[in-house]
Amino acid sequence: MAASLHAQLIGIDWGTSSLRAYRLAPGGAVLESRQRPWGILHLVDRDFDRALSETLSDWVSPQSPLPIIASGMIGSRGGWREVPYAACPADPGSLAAGVCVIESSLGPLHLVPGVIQNGTEPNVMRGEETQILGALASDRALAREALLVLPGTHCKWVVVQAGLIQRFATHMTGELFALLRDHSLLGRPAQDAPHHASDADEAAHAAFLRGIRTARDAGPEGLSGRLFTTRSLFLTGELAAPHTLDYLSGLLIGEEIRSALAAPGVPSKGPVLLVGNPALCARYHLSLGEFGIHHAQSLEDTAPCGLWKIAEAYGLVPRLAQP
Amino acid sequence: MAASLHAQLIGIDWGTSSLRAYRLAPGGAVLESRQRPWGILHLVDRDFDRALSETLSDWVSPQSPLPIIASGMIGSRGGWREVPYAACPADPGSLAAGVCVIESSLGPLHLVPGVIQNGTEPNVMRGEETQILGALASDRALAREALLVLPGTHCKWVVVQAGLIQRFATHMTGELFALLRDHSLLGRPAQDAPHHASDADEAAHAAFLRGIRTARDAGPEGLSGRLFTTRSLFLTGELAAPHTLDYLSGLLIGEEIRSALAAPGVPSKGPVLLVGNPALCARYHLSLGEFGIHHAQSLEDTAPCGLWKIAEAYGLVPRLAQP
């Protein structure tokens, strides 16, 4: 337990489905982490304080305090306390200025705000802002100008300039895929002939690529009139039942990329960074290549470093000397 | 029952959720109709013959026969017998040539094929081809060149030229709306605050229009990055919970129209005909107006006339003298 000597912060990424806690050394290095299935939608009794205590009691106590900071849906309307959004452009300083402190059994808990992009088509994030700031800390060149893509249920495309989260878009690709797979006509063939995707499965890979290319080549028409090809290609025998979902996944990710790159001012020529689950980032990396973007890098689990950055800006931990 | 003296054909529109039967006079005039909840997905015992007999036994019997013709999903893989598709371009003659005759307790049942558009992105319909041919019979000018839109679960956009179904696209707008309403994050606010849409509700109407315009003005970017505004406009208080679904409906219909009109060779300057449920056609009529198409006409229940046309081409009923 020698590492515990150096812990200076407890960081928590507390989302909809799970809670991930980190014991952090200076700079956000993870000394130890743990995950609990106590996301805000899964805590039926809404006893957030007990969930926090049970997760952290051997790491911190009122007798041996450590500052605690949390980001994600725990600060949403359905979480422990709603923390008002910080507006774009946002950086560690503006997020720290919006931190809301609540009392927990383990001492003060610092809740990080999400980020809102105001306008006629507003956009919001909670939790991703922390991952983004953590990713930017990994390479100073990224902070100048970069395009960050955070795949997932609600995928975020984020334009960073001068160290600030300038603007972003949300694509509900992961949620749409799950809906169509589980509840639509398109998901039925695969339900009747279940199949476990394998990277070694060339036909699955080909179906995924075909989906991406169909979406890409649709151009401005978009996906609306092509989603149904998942059905018609199955009916005509061109797609086997187990591969219909690979094709559908390609269609949806392809349309997301096509649409995101069609937006004005998306800096796709400069650094492009994928942040998140490695398997999903790999699918996006492959898909971006079909759009001529071959230089994307990938990072996993950048929340700890982002939590450190915000804690630092807030003054919860000592500011590191600039290297 | 005097009308029964003139019945010359029993026509059936037999789909996924229901069976609609018509006793038809020459030309397809409906003498009597009835509807049963025995669509192919609802007939658990798959006893199609009994469903047919119970629906029609007082209209027709082996002792007093009438020809019977049916179109729709009853001729699909999951129906009574799979009838191979007729290829585009299609007309009453080519559909009649593909009719499949099966024996039922009431005598021969004539199953109309669906239509397939072959190619790298194939497309299929079953049932709509009959509605389309019925609609064309209503006005000879339409058959020269027209754009037909059949709103619904799987909305069809159909280009008719020289009396032929030349090509078509499928937009899964109705199914997507139901999925998002019932199973996604976007549907939750309205579930918590249920609301019955009313034409008199100005705020609902405004939300629907806002959705259409948001999709229209997105241009080539399409809906991918804007679907989530259904959530963000609710979170920012710009959309009240009961109106989130009106906005979502506008977004989806708007994206369908934007996408369909962006396809090459869509004759939107000539006759435009909406075919189907009147309330849904009215929503599409309003939406088309936002895209500058104000001249769309609407027709309801054109299947009987289409069934007559195909039966006539098959020789099941005497061909009417051309007027």
**Contact with chain A for residue B235, Cβ under 8 A:** yes
B222, B233, B238 member nearest A222 (Cβ): B222
Q: How far apart are CA A296 and CA A261, in angstroms?
A: 14
Q: Say yes or no for a CB contact (<8 Å) between B222 and A157.
A: no
CA atoms within 13 A on the CB side of B196: 0
| Residue A166 CB coordination number (10 Å) | 17
Mutate to test the interface with B, among A41, A182, A216, A224 (most CBs of B within 10 A): A224
Q: Which residue of A has its CA nearest to B78?
A: A235
Q: Say yes or no for a CB contact (<8 Å) between B263 and A221.
A: yes
Beta strands in chain A (DSSP E): 9-14, 19-25, 29-36, 68-71, 86-87, 100-104, 107-111, 115-117, 123-125, 145-150, 155-161, 164-171, 272-275, 297-299
Of residues B233, B306, B251, the one with CA closest to residue B275 = B306
A170, A183, A236 member nearest B228 (Cβ): A170
Distances B308 to B63, B273, B320 between C-alpha atoms, Å: 23, 20, 11
Of residues B122, B132, B137, B120, the one with CA closest to residue B90 = B132
Q: Which residue of A has its CA nearest to B253?
A: A224
Q: Is-contact A6 A30, C-beta < 8 A?
A: no
For the record, the structure tokens of B53 come out as: 């007999």
**Contact with chain B for residue A266, Cβ under 8 A:** no
Q: What is the pLDDT of residues A124-156, one digit of tens each?
A: 999 999 999 999 998 888 889 999 999 999 999
Per-residue pLDDT of chain B (323 residues; tens, 9 = 90+): 444 458 999 999 999 999 999 999 998 999 999 999 999 999 989 999 999 999 998 999 777 789 999 999 999 999 999 999 999 999 999 999 999 999 999 999 999 999 999 999 999 999 999 999 999 998 888 889 999 999 999 999 999 999 999 999 999 999 999 999 999 999 999 988 765 555 458 999 999 999 999 999 999 999 999 999 999 999 999 999 999 999 999 999 999 999 999 999 999 999 999 999 999 999 999 999 999 999 999 999 999 999 999 999 999 998 876 54
The rounded radius of gyration (Å) of the Cα atoms in chain A is 21
Q: How far apart are CA A239 and CA B120, in angstroms?
A: 12
| Residue B323 CB coordination number (10 Å) | 4
A242 upstream amide cis, omega within 30 of 0:
no
Distances A221 to A119, A232, B34 between C-alpha atoms, Å: 26, 18, 40
Q: Taking the model in full, what pTM does it have?
A: 0.94
Q: How far apart are CA B38 and CA B54, in angstroms?
A: 11
pLDDT of residue A4: 45
Chain B residues in contact with A219 (beta carbon < 8 A)? 220
Q: How far is A169 from chain B (nearest CA, A)?
A: 6
For the record, the structure tokens of A19 come out as: 């809670």
Q: Is-contact B287 B274, C-beta < 8 A?
A: no
Q: How far apart are CA B116 and CA A13, in angstroms?
A: 51
**Contact with chain B for residue A123, Cβ under 8 A:** yes
Q: Nearest 5 degrees, angle CA B175-CA B173-CA B211? A: 125
